[in-house]
Amino acid sequence: MLAALVLGALAFIAGSIGGDGRAPAPVVLPAVPASAPPLNVGLVANSLGVRGNHRAAEQARVRTAGVRWIREELPWNMVEPWRGARRWQRTDELFVSAARRGLRVLPLLLGSPRWAAGDDLSLPANPDDFGAFAARAAARYGPGGSFWRAHPRLDARLAPVWFELWNEPYLEAFSVGGVDPARYGRMVRSALTAGRGANPRVRWLMAADLVYETPDGTRADWLDALMADDPGLLASVDGFAVHPYSFFAPGEEDDTSPPFRFARVGTIADELAARGASRQPLWITELGWSTCDRRPDCVDEHEQARRLALAFTQVRTTYARRVRALFVYHLRDFPNRAESDREAHYGLLRTNGSRKPAWSIVRAAAQAASR
C-alpha cells in the first residue's frame, strides 16, 4: 500500500510541475507489483573529484534525494600511475565519506595509466594488467576487504559487491584509438579470473549494447563481436551494465532509430538470452536527458522530469524481471559551460544548487524502491 501511495505522489509530481502555465501531461505510474524484485536507485555524482568538505556536502545532497547508491570512478591511472604504485589515498577518502553518509558505491574501473596504454581512455595493450588492477580493487574495497578491516568503525555492510568494468567501450570516446571488442572482452575475462581469485564475494558488470562502429564507419553487432573471440564470455559474467540513452520518451519511441531508444533495454536482454546469458541482471548505470537549450538534442526541465518518471515506470513494470538498478546521470550540471553544451546539463541540480523538477521524481522513485 505504501508503495502505491508513493507512486501516486510521483504521478502527481510529474503532472503538476509546469511553471510556464502549461503543465505536462500527467504520468500515471502503477503501484510496484508485490512480486517485483527490489530496485537499486542511484546517482552518478563524480564526487571523487571534489575535495574535503565539498565532497561531504555533495554526497549529503545525494542522501537528501533519498538515494543510497552513487556510481563513482575508481581510476586505474590515479591508483597506479607507474607500474607497481599503490596510491589509494583519494579513493579511500571517497569510501570513508560515502560510508559515513550511508551510501553504497558502485565502483567504475576506468582510466589506463600511460605505461599501459597510449591514452587514459584507451584500452590497455595487455588485458592482464587491467585484470591485476581489478583484483587489487576487489581485495581492498569488496566485502571483507583490507579497506574495511582498516576502518572498523565504518559499516562494512556498505562494502561494494558489484564492480563495473570500464565505461562504454563500444564508443570511441572511451576506446581512444579504435573500438576493439576482442580487447575489451579479454580485459573482462582477465578481471573475472583475477578478481574472483582475490575476492570471491565480488560480482562483475560488463558493458553491453547492441552495436558499435567499425573503423570503416559501418555498424557491427557488439555482442557477436565479443563472443567471436570468447564464446563463453557473456555467460561467465555476473551482470551487464547498459546505458539506454534515448532521443525519445520511454514508451513513446518510434522505430526509426532502434539503437537510440530506451526500449533497447528489452532488446539487449533478449539478445543476451539468445546467446546463453538469460539469468544475469541488467544494471542501468547511466540514464538521463539533458536540459541544454539546443533542440532537438535536449529537452526542457519539465520534460526531463516526465521522461525520468516514464523510465522508472518501465523499469518497475515492463523490465522488472531483468533490471536491478537505475543510476540517473547526473547529480548536478557542470559549471562554466555553455547553455548549448548537452553534456553539461544532465543534472538534477542547476549549477547554483537549486533543484530541477526531476529531483522530486528521483526522490519519490527512490522512496518507492526502498519499500
In this predicted model, what pLDDT tens digit does every residue of 112-137 receive, in sequence order?
A: 999 999 999 999 999 999 999 999 99
pLDDT band at 52 (very low <50, low <70, confident <90, very high): confident
Which region among 15-24, 90-99, 347-356 has the lowest average model confidence (pLDDT)? 15-24
pLDDT of residue 363: 95
In a 13 Å sphere around the CA of 316, the CA atoms on its Cβ side amount to 26
Q: For 220-265, how does the pLDDT look when each residue is reduced to its tens digit (9 = 90+)?
A: 999 999 999 999 999 999 999 999 999 999 999 876 666 789 999 9
Whole-model pTM?
A: 0.93
Identity of the amino acid at 6: V
Answer yes or no: CATH 3.40.50.720 is held by domain 2-13+39-369: no
Query: Comparing 98 with 10, which gets the higher pLDDT?
Result: 98
